[in-house]
Structure 1
Amino acid sequence: MSAETATSRAFGLPAVLPGSVRTARAWVRQVMGLPVSVHVRAADPARADIDDAVDALFDDLRRADDVFSLWRPDSALSRIRRGELAVEAADPWLAQVQDVARRAVEATGGLYSTDLTGPDGTRGWDPTGIVKGWAVEQAAAHLRAVPGIAFSVNAGGDLVCGRGPAAALVDSAWRIGVERPGTPGGIATVITVTEGALATSGTAARGRHIIDPRTDAAADARHTSVTVAGPELTWADAWATACFLDPHALAAAGPAWSAYRVVSVTG
Structure 2
Amino acid sequence: MGTVFSFDVRGGEPGAVRVALEEAVAGLHRVDEVFSTYRDGSQLSRLARGELALEECDPEVAEVLELGAQAERLSDGWFSTRYQGQLDPTGIVKGWSAERAARLLRAAGATGVSVNGGGDVQLLGVPGPQRPWRVGVSDPIRPGGLAAVISAAGKDELAVATSGTSERGTHIVDPSTGRSAITDLVAVTVVAPQLTWADCWATAAFAMGSRQGLRWLESLPDVEALLITAGDEVRCTGGLASRLG
Determine if the TM-score, normalized by the shorter chain, exceeds 0.5.
yes
Partner of 1:205: 167
Aligned to 1:39: 8
Name 1:6's counterpart in structure 2. Answer: none
Q: List per-residue Cα deviations over 1:201-236 (Å, max 9, x = no partner).
A: 011122111110122211122121100010110110
**CA positional deviation for 1:148:** 5.1
Contact 1:188 / 1:266 at 8 angstroms: preserved in 2?
A: no
Q: Deviations along 1:26-74, whole A, 9 cap, x unmatched?
A: xxxxxxx211110122287xx1222111111111111111110101111
Match of 1:183 in 2: 142
Deviation at 1:140, TM superposition (A): 1.5
Instruction: Read off the aligned partner of 2:47 and give its amino acid letter.
Output: I
CA root-mean-square deviation: 2.1
Trace 1:223-242 onto structure 2 (pairs within 5 A): 223-242=185-204
Deviating 4+ runs (over 3 angstroms) = 167-172, 249-255
Contact 2:205–2:216 (Cα < 8 Å) also in 1: no
The alignment status of 1:67 with 2:30, answered yes or no, reads no
Please show how residues 65-214 of structure 1 align to structure 2 within 5 Å: 65-117=32-84, 123-147=85-109, 149-163=111-125, 170-171=129-130, 173-181=132-140, 183-193=142-152, 194=155, 195-214=157-176
Contact (CA 8 Å) 1:225, 1:244: kept in 2 or not?
Answer: yes
- Check whether the contact 2:11–2:109 (CA below 8 A) recurs between aligned residues: no
State the distance in 2 between where 1:130 and 1:155 align: 12
Q: Distance in 2 between matches of 1:265 and 1:250?
A: 11
Match of 2:242 in 1: none
Match of 2:216 in 1: 252
What is the match of residue 183 of structure 2? 221
* Matched residue, 1:48: 15
Does the C-alpha gap of structure 1 residues 220 and 143 become closer, same or farther in structure 2, counting only changes over 3 Å? Answer: same
Higher relative contact order (CA 8 A, sep 6+): 1
Q: 2: CA distance between counterparts of 1:115 and 1:152?
A: 29
SS in 1 for 2:198: helix
Q: CA deviation at 1:147?
A: 2.6
CA contact (8 A) 2:9 2:110 kept: no
Q: In structure 2, give the amino acid aligned to 1:71.
A: Y
Aligned to 2:228: 265
Tell me, yes or no, if the aligned pair for 1:97 and 1:131 is still in contact at 8 Å: yes
What is the CA–CA distance in structure 2 between the aligned matches of 1:168 and 1:175, rounded to whole Å?
10
Opposite residue 139 of structure 2, the aligned amino acid is R
SS in 1 for 2:16: helix
Shift of 1:173: 1.2
CA apart distance, 1:176: 0.7
Q: How far apart in 2 are the matches of 1:100 and 1:160?
A: 17
Q: CA distance change for structure 1 residues 127 and 171 in 2, over 3 Å: closer, same or farther?
A: same
> Residue 11 of structure 1 corresponds to which residue in structure 2?
none
List gaps (5 residues or longer) in structure 1. Answer: 2-32, 118-122
Unaligned runs of 5+ in 2: 231-245
Cα 1:93–1:212 change in 2 (3 A) is same
TM-score of the superposed pair, with normalisation by structure 1 = 0.78
